[in-house]
A and B are shown apart, each in its own frame.
Chain A
Amino acid sequence: MKADFRGDADHHDGTSDATPGGYEDSRRPGEAGFAALLAIGSGVLLWTAHGISGFEALSGPGSVPMAVTAAMLVSALAILARTIRLPRVAGETLRRDVLPGVVIVMALALAGFGLLLVPLGFVPAAFLFLVPAIRFLSGRGWGFSLAVGTGSLAAIWLIFRIVFTVLLPSGILPEAELVQALRGLFSGGEQ
């Protein structure tokens, strides 16, 4: 095992925390671009950090931010320099191995869920996310997706809203009344 690499060939996609992605001797599609973006981002952050308090005092609010962004920039440049020298992995494409359609679709669905969370409320937004997602990923019928999606949503809502008392956006659903009714049901009508 080389000091510079502790992953294994089977899990180059980072399937497990224990085995980070990437290859030792070659670069994956998009890896050089990602490294370049990190280097540019680090440069911008270093510039911003310099703007906090400049070099006025070693104990200034900007000194640690400057030090860490400088470390980011130096390491990002070192990574970039190493990455662009490596040959590309044979047989991998960006569309298939790094960013397949299913990942893009689900990431967009998640973003949509996030956007609808407050205006619609948790339950309707989660329903709109969960049922089509299960249908899309499992390839099974709407009946299965509806049953599994609704069932698990009900379980999650009961656990988190009632047991963990997590406040979730109620949106268009009369949630407070529902919670009250459920509590009334469980307390057996005690006053």
Chain B
Amino acid sequence: MDALLAFLTVFTHPELLLLVGLGTFAGVYVGAIPGLSVTMAVSILISFTFSWDVLPAISLMIGIYMGGVYGGSRTAILLNIPGAPSAIATAMDGYPMAQRGEAGQAIGVTTVMSFFGGLIGIAVLALAAPAVSDFALSFQPRDYMLLAILGILLVGSLSTGSLVKGIFSGSLGLAIGAVGLDPLTFTERFTFGVPLLQGGISFIAVMIGMFGVSEALIQLQHVNSAAVRQKIDRIVPSWDTVKKHLPLSMQTSFIGVIIGALPGTGGDIAALMAYDHAKRVTKKPSRPFGKGAIEGLVAPETANNAAVGGAFIPMMTLGIPGDAVTAIMIGALFIHGLNPGPMLMVTQPDMFWVIVGALVTANAFMLLFGLTGIRLFTKIVELPRAVLIPLIMLLSIVGAYAVNNSVTDVYWMLGFGVFGYFMRHYGYPLGPVILGVILSRLLDDNWRRAIISDREDLGAFFHGILTSPLSLVLTVAVVLIFLSQTPLWRAAIGRLGQRRHRHAAG
């Protein structure tokens, strides 16, 4: 009963309802402006909510996240530029549809399927999270440490860029997170004798710099590119279209939830895997895949929105983010005094149900805003960049300053903005940096807890790993990711392929 009341909190408080709606609106439209990503929107906008109470702040953030994942698909369809990593697969068939003048239909199908996938993701979250959280209570510190490493490695290797650059970025994030006084022994770490560094580097400054300023600086190179006009006609898809693709969307939604729930893998991997699945199971697509097949839109869009619910499972139950956006959400929850992890479900179960309620609401708003307001949408997408970019820079500065009322954070933000600019140019992924900063404390604490409980004995530590099935599975996963990047692995895969080939031929 308490859970139901908590679930309905957002519906019964007009103020929260309004904020979820506002957040979703902002998410959809920021995600839809070419070049402005949902990560950027979340990182800049949430910094303004830190002085708020926790419920309004969470309502706004969830709206932005849910809307942004969907909004990224708009630019993928209209301009072939995925607004978010999770929309890469959407562009493959969405853009060919737009080229044929079917942009309206593509957007309509995307919207309805995103809504459907989102609902399934949230339902699984509501059902599975309490059980996962119970299970997570039995996790050892070393398991948390391994999960954190696994998460950073997966984000580094699967989502963007090369693994070795991903490892560098993740380690850099962990090092940034370690700056300041060690919470256990009060030893100074990476402070270089500067008193200002003792408090550490604000995670918000790193985040806004990397995702706000660096992106705005990159966009300066495209400041004069003309806004693209697309004629968008009928947008609400027919019931027949929806009904026809329902079986596929069920399958791809579950792929989305499962992939989203794995720590370190988020909507982008989910969408690509779902696209691949659709290609395999669809015998007669409406058109060949890659040439504007509706199935090629249904699969990634259900999966990436289902992955939102999935990603909340490790985030809420373990405190391990799935991607850069969930990493930012975890950081925001920390600042609001919540500690995502198994204990959250024990000490504040209501909070979990409020979040589930907000997700459902955001999903409904997404459907509403997705299918309406096309004229406004085209206006916003056509905003001149010469005005937009200085405004983003201004908001970045206000956001960085607002969190601690400190101008030092502004300087850090600018520094990381310039650094992130070069990282983007040279292909270093930024997601792992943020994940590293967020997970630094968790990794450090749990390593020390684990090794202290084994009396500083590495032999006992490894013995513990080998005798616990969970630790063993996690360790094997970490080792496999490393091996997958070595020539040894490629040779093994090649040999396996040859053998299969021979087998098939024979």
| B190 A45 Cβ-Cβ under 8 A | yes
Is B286 close to A, CB under 8 A?
Answer: no
| B160 A138 Cβ-Cβ under 8 A | no
Cα-based distance from A79 to B88 in the complex (angstroms): 26
Q: Enumerate 27 A-B pairs (CB-CB under 8 Å) in ascending A order.
A: A5-B161, A5-B162, A7-B161, A14-B424, A15-B81, A16-B35, A17-B39, A17-B160, A17-B211, A20-B161, A30-B426, A49-B190, A61-B182, A64-B178, A68-B436, A69-B171, A76-B168, A106-B389, A114-B407, A137-B387, A138-B387, A139-B386, A149-B390, A156-B395, A160-B402, A164-B48, A169-B407
Question: Which of B88, B218, B427 has the largest count of A CB atoms less than 10 A from its CB?
Answer: B427
B452 contact set on A, CB distance < 8 A: 59
**Given known contacts A17-B430, A20-B160, A100-B221, A72 and B171 CB-to-CB distance under 8 angstroms:** yes
| B218 A68 Cβ-Cβ under 8 A | no
| B387 A110 Cβ-Cβ under 8 A | no
9-residue interface stretch from B289-297, B306-314, B373-381, B410-418: B410-418
| A3 B485 Cβ-Cβ under 8 A | yes
Within 8 A of A (CB), among B35-73: 35, 37, 39, 48-49, 51-52, 72
B352 contact set on A, CB distance < 8 A: none
| B427 A15 Cβ-Cβ under 8 A | no
9-residue interface stretch from B246-254, B342-350, B440-448, B468-476: B440-448
Question: Which of A82, A126, A165, A166 has the largest count of B CB atoms less than 10 A from its CB?
Answer: A166
| A22 B427 Cβ-Cβ under 8 A | yes
B48 contact set on A, CB distance < 8 A: 160, 164, 166
The interface bits of chain A over 97-140 (1 if a CB of B lies within 8 angstroms of the residue's CB, else 0) are 01010110011001101100110001000100110011001111
| A45 B175 Cβ-Cβ under 8 A | yes
| B386 A137 Cβ-Cβ under 8 A | yes
The interface bits of chain B over 335-355 (1 if a CB of A lies within 8 angstroms of the residue's CB, else 0) are 000000000000000000000
Cα-based distance from A113 to B430 in the complex (angstroms): 25
| A64 B161 Cβ-Cβ under 8 A | no
**Given known contacts A6-B161, A18-B268, A71 and B390 CB-to-CB distance under 8 angstroms:** no
Interface residues in B, total, Cβ within 8 A: 94
Other than A16-B84, A49-B175, give 20 A-B pairs with Cβ distance below 8 A: A5-B161, A14-B427, A15-B219, A16-B82, A17-B431, A61-B187, A65-B178, A68-B171, A68-B178, A68-B436, A76-B168, A78-B164, A100-B220, A103-B217, A107-B418, A110-B213, A110-B414, A117-B407, A164-B48, A169-B401
Cα-based distance from A75 to B428 in the complex (angstroms): 12
Is B429 close to A, CB under 8 A?
Answer: yes
**Given known contacts A20-B161, A61-B182, A103 and B398 CB-to-CB distance under 8 angstroms:** no
> Which chain B residue lies CB-closest to A156?
B394
Least Cβ–Cβ distance between A12 and chain B, in angstroms: 8
Is B233 close to A, CB under 8 A?
Answer: no
Interface residues in A, total, Cβ within 8 A: 81
Cα-based distance from A133 to B393 in the complex (angstroms): 10
B405 contact set on A, CB distance < 8 A: 167
Is A52 close to B, CB under 8 A?
Answer: yes
| A18 B82 Cβ-Cβ under 8 A | yes
| A98 B386 Cβ-Cβ under 8 A | no
A185 contact set on B, CB distance < 8 A: none
A110 contact set on B, CB distance < 8 A: 213, 393, 397, 414, 417
Majority secondary structure of chain A interface residues (helix, strand, loop or mixed): helix
Is B422 close to A, CB under 8 A?
Answer: yes
Cα-based distance from A26 to B484 in the complex (angstroms): 23
A4 contact set on B, CB distance < 8 A: 162-163, 485
Cα-based distance from A126 to B429 in the complex (angstroms): 31
Cα-based distance from A69 to B170 in the complex (angstroms): 11
Cα-based distance from A17 to B41 in the complex (angstroms): 12
Within 8 A of B (CB), among A60-93: 60-65, 68-69, 71-72, 75-76, 78-79, 82
Is A175 close to B, CB under 8 A?
Answer: no
| A11 B164 Cβ-Cβ under 8 A | no
A61 contact set on B, CB distance < 8 A: 182, 184-185, 187, 189
**Given known contacts A59-B448, A71-B171, A138-B387, A20 and B429 CB-to-CB distance under 8 angstroms:** yes
| A22 B426 Cβ-Cβ under 8 A | yes
Is A176 close to B, CB under 8 A?
Answer: no
Is B262 close to A, CB under 8 A?
Answer: no
| B217 A68 Cβ-Cβ under 8 A | no
**Given known contacts A68-B175, A114-B397, A13 and B425 CB-to-CB distance under 8 angstroms:** yes
Is A19 close to B, CB under 8 A?
Answer: yes
The interface bits of chain B over 210-242 (1 if a CB of A lies within 8 angstroms of the residue's CB, else 0) are 010101011111110000000000000000000
B221 contact set on A, CB distance < 8 A: 13, 100, 102-103
